[in-house]
Amino acid sequence: MDEWKQRFHQYRSADVAGAFGHILEKWRRRFHQRVRRRSIAIVLAGVSLVVLSIFLLGANYLSQIRLRDVLLEQVRLDTDRDAETLSFFFETARDELNNLTKASEFSAYFANRALGMSMQYGLRSSLLELHRRLEQTVRQNGEAGTVTGLFDWIAFVESPSGLPLARTGFDPPPTTNHWRPPPLPFDPVATGFAFWIPTDREPASVYAVLPYFFKAEYRGYLLAQLDSTTLHARLLAIVDHQNRQFCLVLTDRCLRLLADRSKPAGAVFAVELPAAAFGQPVLLKMDSAMPADGRFYGMAARIRDTPLALATFTPAERISGRAGPEQLLLLTGLLSGIVLLGTFFLWRMDNQNLVLKMHVAEEKRRQEDLAEKNLQLYQLAHHDTLTGLPNRDLLFDRLEHAMVRARRRGGRIALLFLDLDRFKTINDSLGHPVGDQVLQAVARRLRDNIRETDTVARLSGDEFILLLEDIRKSDDAVMVAEKILDLLAQPFSVAGHEMSLSISIGSSLFPEDGETATELIRNADTAMYRAKEGGRNCYQRYQRDLTDQLVERFELERGLRGAAERGEFELYYQPQLSSTENRLVAAEALLRWRHPQFGFVSPGLFIPLAEETGHIHEIGAWVLRAACAQTHAWLQAGLAPPPIAVNISGQQIMRGDLPAIVSAQLTEWDITPEQLELEITETSLMRHSEQSLGILQQLRELGIQLAIDDFGTGYSSMSYMKRFKVNALKIDRSFVEDLPDDEVDCDIARAIIALAHSLGLRVVAEGVETVAQRDFLQAEGCDRMQGYLFGRPVPSKEFERLLKSQAAN
């Protein structure tokens, strides 16, 4: 209590304002440091990101350049190869025309003409042959207008008239007069064989021109139009194969013939191709006036042995992707800028957060103070002010929580109920302040010696409860209890007084001993009282029948009082037979109590109770009297009852008036001492051995037969045995039970019989139930036997019939 008060005062007397200012300053310094460190980290992260993005994009840029070079090289190789392929087409055309001029039809015609022959008489025939030969040449080289044709048509143009002599596709001469060849921009004689694309015609066509000489004299020229369909198809194949946008055949640098799927065959188009484009791809910018809009890689390759070239145009994005190296560089710059900007804003926002963070931190600290105060209030409300231990409320709270947990996990809880022995004496003798200090010392010692998970609470006065959670078995609780008994057995020094304390402990377990906290505490309390009954400074585990026994014991105790007067007692008689003669030689009187509520109550239950409550004297007297009265009655009836054995309690001997009572009864009922035997258990005899000696001696002097009952179950001293002067020993039924099968029991029985005989005592065996037992005992020399084999205990009337039948025999 004082400790709590002290703490409370300290708190209140603190200089709150000063402490707050100090803390605020400390926090501010710490925040400044953190902010500075974070700013540097942010800037470093930003710079790292910029460097990383530049590095990545740079690497990408270089690889893009490499890739572009490779693709451009591919374009160059493809274009060269396609130009070479295309050259075969032109070469074939040239060869065909050369062959044509060597044909006999040409020489025949010009020879006949040179001979002066007229068209009318003979020459026309030669011309027809020549015409037919032209037709044949066109036909032979594939059908004109298909992808396999070589020529659309072939004509022979005479010199110097410039008129066609013959042309395929038209009726033979002289009906070709209306067709006129395109005017040649060059002199065939000077040029020789030539391919030519007229600049002013659309659709554009490629012409082959070959001058013809007869006998070294120029006679005109062959003019052939190359098959436009075939040429267009070949160019389109190149476009498709190379994945180009389009391609062209050009004369010199001016492009003429276009192959583009989006344009009709032979569409004309003109663009100046830079000289650099011959041999390697060059980036060109085209506009809407051109075949396609946008950026292209254009490249031209000469078609061998012709003045023509093949030009291919590949969209730039197919080479360098949609984002070219230049765009990548731009992207790098942009990305770096964004990262830097982001870093700057991050840094600025971080700084602006400083004040807010300080407010938040202060508020947090205030919340923590409040929580601490609440905690203190909670402590005050839930703890015992004297010892600082949890009080009853907190105990109940914890116990219930522990029970919930245990139910969930299937665990167990032990509750130890502690009560200081004779604490009242300390209070009374040394005063309450000392008593309080003792309680505090006990509380400290308990608190210091339990696990953190366990709870020790002060219930009231000198009562403590120890709550043990998560125990595995009930022995754990025993161990703790014994530890506590040892702990408190060590001396205490309180207010100058050295003292030893003892404590009684009762325990209950969850879930075996109760479902609720109240029930568990009550049962532990019950167990604690049992412990106190057991002699204090000990531990008692709660057992459920403790409660039932208490109730029954109370009822029995009440019932015993006056039971004799109410006629609830009755004596039964069990015969004892002589082993040698097999005749009735004695009978044991056995007390039966017929309780109005419980029915027959076992002597084993009510005799100890009677001894404890002191009723044993009253009951013992009744038994003695009843046995004597019955003997008297049978004698009066003319029967010859055997000696009746009556059991005597140790307490009856202890009281010392037993010889007087026995003597009085013998006298009252006019029976001889030989008619009566007294049986005393070995245990009670030995417990009160010194007192017993005199009493037994007096009884012997009266002439009463004495027997030691249940022999073998106690601790008989041979010297006492010698001095007691009894007449008989009764072997306990536990040794008879397993005869003759159990060798140890056989040995014990033999030993007892030998001992008794050596002391001159008679031996009686109890509980004989089988013929084998009887035979064994008989063989070993046992004098008398008693048991179900010979007769159960029976009421007096029935025993009387037995006596009568025996008398008759």
Partner 1 sequence: MWSGKLVLLLSLLVGTTVWAWDLPEIRANGVLRHLGIPYANFVTGSGDGLDVEMMQLFARHLGVRYEYVETTWADVLGDLLGRRVRFDGKRVEWLDETPVRGDAIANGLTVLPQRQQVLDYSTPTFPSGVWLIARADSSLEPIKPSSDPQADIKATRLLLAECSVLVLSNTCLDPKLHNLEETGATVRELPTIRNLNEMVPALLKGEADTTILDVPDALVALAKWPGQIKVIGPITGTQDMGVGFRKDSPQLREAFDQFFAKINREGIYPRLVRKYYPSVLDYYPDYFKRMTVGQ
- List interacting residues with partner 1 (CB under 8 A): 104, 107-108, 111-112, 114-126, 128-129, 131-132, 172
Specify the pairing of strand 207-214 against strand 194-196: antiparallel
Instruction: Write down the least CB distance from residue 129 to partner 1, Å.
Output: 6
Instruction: Write down the least CB distance from residue 292 to partner 1, Å.
Output: 50
Using CA atoms of 629, 635, 637, 641 in order, give the dihedral in degrees to the nearest 10. 90
Tokens 């070993």 found at: 780
Cβ closer to partner 1: 129 or 766? 129
Instruction: Write down the least CB distance from residue 173 to partner 1, Å.
Output: 9
Q: Please name the residue ranges forming H helices in 542-589.
A: 544-560
Instruction: Write down the least CB distance from residue 110 to partner 1, Å.
Output: 8
Are residues 492 and 438 in contact, defined by beta-carbon separation less than 8 angstroms? Answer: yes
Cβ closer to partner 1: 217 or 428? 217
Instruction: Write down the least CB distance from residue 203 to partner 1, Å.
Output: 32
CB crowding 520-536: b at 16 or more within 10 Å, else e: bbbbbbbbbbbbbeeee
Alpha carbon distance 468, 445 (integer Å): 16
Instruction: Write down the least CB distance from residue 125 to partner 1, Å.
Output: 5
Instruction: List the one residue out of 420, 416, 390 whose CA is nearest residue 513.
Output: 416
Alpha carbon distance 695, 765 (integer Å): 25
Q: Is the peptide bond before 641 cis (omega within 30 degrees of 0)?
A: no
Cβ closer to partner 1: 101 or 125? 125
Cβ closer to partner 1: 43 or 117? 117
Q: Which residues pair with 208 in a beta bridge?
A: 195, 224
Instruction: Write down the least CB distance from residue 123 to partner 1, Å.
Output: 8
Cβ closer to partner 1: 132 or 750? 132
Alpha carbon distance 105, 98 (integer Å): 14
Instruction: List the one residue out of 20, 13, 6, 31 whose CA is nearest residue 356.
Output: 31
Q: Is the peptide bond before 164 cis (omega within 30 degrees of 0)?
A: no
Specify the pairing of strand 644-648 against strand 676-681: parallel
Instruction: Write down the least CB distance from residue 223 to partner 1, Å.
Output: 22
Tokens 């531990």 found at: 539
Cβ closer to partner 1: 122 or 145? 122
Alpha carbon distance 466, 446 (integer Å): 9
Alpha carbon distance 695, 701 (integer Å): 10
SS3 621: helix
Counting runs of H as helices and runs of E as strands, what totals does the chain give? 25, 27
Cβ closer to partner 1: 124 or 625? 124
H or E stretch at 225: strand 217-226
Instruction: Write down the least CB distance from residue 167 to partner 1, Å.
Output: 15
Cβ closer to partner 1: 149 or 220? 220
Instruction: Write down the least CB distance from residue 297 to partner 1, Å.
Output: 54
Compute φ and ψ for 252, nearest 5 degrees.
55, -135
Cβ closer to partner 1: 126 or 665? 126
Cβ closer to partner 1: 102 or 797? 102
Instruction: Write down the least CB distance from residue 136 to partner 1, Å.
Output: 10
Cβ closer to partner 1: 109 or 669? 109
Cβ closer to partner 1: 81 or 113? 113
Alpha carbon distance 460, 179 (integer Å): 139
Cβ closer to partner 1: 176 or 631? 176
Cβ closer to partner 1: 219 or 398? 219
696: how many CB neighbours lie within 10 A of its CB? 23
First-last CA distance in the chain:
90
Alpha carbon distance 257, 43 (integer Å): 61
Beta strands in 599-675 (DSSP E): 599-601, 644-648
Are residues 666 and 643 in contact, defined by beta-carbon separation less than 8 angstroms? Answer: no
Instruction: Write down the least CB distance from residue 126 to partner 1, Å.
Output: 6
SS3 288: coil
Instruction: Write down the least CB distance from residue 210 to partner 1, Å.
Output: 21
Q: How many residues does the structure list for the chain?
A: 809
Which amino acid type is present at position 62?
L
Alpha carbon distance 100, 96 (integer Å): 6
Instruction: Write down the least CB distance from residue 120 to partner 1, Å.
Output: 4
Compute φ and ψ for 707, nearest 5 degrees.
-135, 145
Are residues 451 and 407 in contact, defined by beta-carbon separation less than 8 angstroms? Answer: no
Burial class (CB in 10 A: 0-12, 13-18, 19+), 277: buried
Q: Is the peptide bond before 307 cis (omega within 30 degrees of 0)?
A: no
Cβ closer to partner 1: 106 or 196? 106
Are residues 757 and 730 in contact, defined by beta-carbon separation less than 8 angstroms? Answer: no
Q: Which residues pair with 196 in a beta bridge?
A: 207
Instruction: Write down the least CB distance from residue 214 to partner 1, Å.
Output: 10
Are residues 255 and 310 in contact, defined by beta-carbon separation less than 8 angstroms? Answer: no
Alpha carbon distance 396, 522 (integer Å): 12
Cβ closer to partner 1: 104 or 580? 104
Cβ closer to partner 1: 122 or 795? 122
Cβ closer to partner 1: 117 or 478? 117
Alpha carbon distance 602, 636 (integer Å): 32
Instruction: Write down the least CB distance from residue 217 to partner 1, Å.
Output: 14
Task: Compute CA distances 253 → 87, 271, 311, whole Å.
Answer: 18, 8, 10
